[in-house]
């Protein structure tokens, strides 16, 4: 099939995709950054993709006084600001017709999330939309609020009978991260919300899973006879998962001080990448089949001892430096950050998965803020070929073979291998076969939230975490949290903002005779 034919097939497939069923989407935290910078751009992209139904309405809820008109105006201003930046929303203009379609369906309600009256007001409004706007009584409640309000909102919805499903009407709740701050709090939060909701109503959001390359990992592994036979300890030396950012904590100092890089990224984003990379084949693409296999592999992570948690995990904090050509402050100089803070903005660790497929294969994870490059990838290093054949040639060493799954910003897949250089002698050079989504497929603009919001509306939970998956992730990192709590540091190691990270992270791999892939 040619590229032109394939793109035609894509267009045909896209045209067959049905719009979501009618519903009202209630956004708690309507005035927050998440709503402005990710949720509303994602909904705008869904309008352009013709995935939203005529009977769709948005209800914004927040404690600040506002009107529907001024809320929509503020969101409009933000959308135009976003097209000038380099964030998740990538567009060179705003289609006024598509945006107006969305703003015409927006209403704003002022309400205190701790007050039962707010939920009564929401219930009355939803009943009105069912009669006048054709939402058919379906509702998606999106909790774009601080995590301390998750249980509060769910309990409020339950007390107001807003999550009861009857007469064919569905009610679903989207919960953003962080889902807990450690294993006990994650278990407590799961227990709290399951008092009100059934598991099938809960959609625990992780927008990394909306990335095309993340979704393609299962297709790459399980649809290609070329790769799956090699996807094991007999052929793979180690795996590196990187999620580096070129932003600091921005205006989130208060949140970050109590969170840090480990809690913020590893049990959710990074473990989602790990689980899709390492999971066993599910028996189908049904949500429960996929999520069960993802949970299994996280549960198979070898528990760290107090000693190994200190040696196999590295923490550091960014110092002043230059990022993307701009001078930036040290973390301790950020607003709402303590001048003697020991909160980590970088975490690297080595994990082992104790099962038949991966025994003996280390998984190295790293994530940090104010790094050299904004880059998320899964890098799979295959075992080195024997050198014996090349001993009497000009080849001094064997070149490594890598498969690189690029998640963002340049989504694609690369395979690196050795080839003979032209000439009379035998010498080798590294070459790369590179597939980029944007050059082969017609990709619509995406923040990563579009697929996930659409899946919530159609009731597909495949890309969302189940309670056991969440708790398994916290179980794996809890020994690190405990070891750090038992061994506090007065002066946390630092790395220069705009660099590859701290020296200790390089030493973590060097102990095993390995090295991180450079962020270049």
Report the SS3 class of residue 83: coil
C-alpha to C-alpha distance for 403 and 383, rounded to whole angstroms: 12
Q: Is 80 exposed, middle or buried (0-12, 13-18, 19+ CB in 10 A)?
A: exposed
C-alpha to C-alpha distance for 372 and 193, rounded to whole angstroms: 40
Question: Which residues lie across from 23 on neighbouring strands?
Answer: 56
* The token pair that represents 109 in the structure block: 């309600």
C-alpha to C-alpha distance for 214 and 442, rounded to whole angstroms: 17
C-alpha to C-alpha distance for 299 and 473, rounded to whole angstroms: 8
Collect all residues with Cβ–Cβ distance below 8 Å to 97 and sequence separation of at least 6.
Answer: none
Question: Which residues lie across from 315 on neighbouring strands?
Answer: 347
Q: Is 195 exposed, middle or buried (0-12, 13-18, 19+ CB in 10 A)?
A: exposed
Report the SS3 class of residue 324: coil
Using an 8 Å Cβ cutoff, are 172 and 55 in contact? Answer: no
Closest CA to 274 of 293, 256, 259, 258: 293
Q: Which residues are catalytic?
A: 269
Report the SS3 class of residue 457: helix
For 162, how many CA atoms within 13 A lie in the half-sphere containing its CB? 28
C-alpha to C-alpha distance for 296 and 184, rounded to whole angstroms: 20
**Extended strands (E) in 147-295:** 171-175, 202-204, 236-244
Using an 8 Å Cβ cutoff, are 428 and 395 in contact? Answer: yes
**Extended strands (E) in 63-201:** 106-110, 139-143, 171-175
Question: Which residues lie across from 174 on neighbouring strands?
Answer: 142, 203
C-alpha to C-alpha distance for 386 and 180, rounded to whole angstroms: 47
Sheet holding 494-496, edge to edge: 428-436, 412-420, 402-408, 375-382, 236-244, 362-368, 346-352, 313-319, 494-496
Q: What are phi and psi of 43, to 5 degrees?
A: -65, -40
């Amino acid at each position: 099939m040619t590229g032109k034919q394939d793109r035609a097939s894509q267009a045909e497939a896209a045209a067959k995709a049905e719009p979501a069923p009618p519903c009202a989407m209630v956004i708690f935290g309507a005035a927050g950054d998440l709503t402005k910078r990710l949720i509303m751009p994602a909904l705008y992209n869904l309008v352009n993709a013709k995935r939203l139904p005529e009977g769709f309405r948005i209800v914004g809820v927040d404690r600040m006084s506002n009107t529907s008109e001024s809320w929509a105006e503020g969101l409009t201003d933000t959308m135009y600001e976003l097209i000038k930046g380099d964030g998740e929303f990538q567009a060179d203009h705003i289609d006024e017709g598509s945006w107006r379609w969305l703003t015409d369906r927006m209403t704003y309600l002022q309400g205190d999330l701790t007050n039962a009256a707010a939920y009564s007001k929401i219930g009355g409004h939803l009943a009105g939309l069912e009669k006048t706007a054709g939402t058919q009584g379906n509702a998606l409640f999106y909790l774009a609020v601080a995590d301390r309000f998750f249980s509060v909102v769910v309990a409020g919805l339950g007390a107001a009978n807003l999550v009861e499903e009857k007469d064919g009407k569905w009610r679903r709740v989207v919960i953003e991260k962080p889902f807990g701050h450690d294993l006990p709090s994650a278990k407590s939060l799961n227990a709290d919300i399951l008092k009100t909701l059934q598991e099938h109503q809960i959609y625990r959001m992780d927008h990394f899973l909306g990335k095309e390359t993340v979704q393609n990992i299962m297709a790459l592994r399980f649809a290609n006879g070329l790769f799956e036979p090699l996807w094991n300890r007999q052929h793979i030396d180690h795996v590196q998962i990187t999620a580096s950012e070129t932003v600091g904590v921005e205006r989130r100092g208060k949140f970050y001080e109590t969170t840090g890089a480990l809690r913020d990224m590893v049990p959710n984003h990074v473990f989602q990448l790990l689980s899709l990379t390492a999971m066993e084949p599910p028996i189908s693409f049904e949500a429960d089949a996929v999520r069960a296999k993802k949970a299994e592999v996280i549960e198979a992570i070898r528990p760290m001892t107090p000693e190994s948690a200190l040696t196999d995990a590295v923490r550091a904090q960014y110092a002043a430096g230059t990022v993307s050509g701009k001078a930036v402050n040290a973390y301790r100089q950020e607003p709402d950050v303590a001048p003697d803070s020991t909160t980590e903005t970088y975490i690297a660790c080595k994990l082992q998965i104790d099962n038949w497929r991966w025994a003996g294969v280390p998984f190295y994870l790293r994530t940090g803020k104010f790094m050299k490059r904004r880059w998320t990838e899964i890098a799979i290093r295959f075992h080195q070929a024997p050198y014996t054949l090349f001993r009497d040639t000009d080849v001094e060493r064997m070149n490594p073979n890598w498969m690189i799954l690029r998640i963002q910003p340049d989504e694609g897949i690369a395979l690196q291998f050795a080839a003979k250089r032209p000439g009379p002698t035998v010498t080798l050079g590294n070459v790369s076969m590179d597939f980029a989504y944007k050059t082969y497929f017609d990709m619509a603009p995406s923040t990563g939230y579009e697929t996930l919001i659409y899946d919530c509306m159609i009731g597909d939970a495949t890309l969302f975490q189940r309670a056991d998956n969440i708790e398994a992730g916290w179980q794996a990192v809890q020994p690190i949290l405990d070891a750090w709590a038992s061994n506090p540091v007065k002066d946390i190691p630092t790395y220069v903002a705009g660099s590859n990270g701290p020296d200790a992270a390089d030493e973590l791999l060097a102990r095993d005779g390995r090295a991180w892939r450079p962020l270049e």
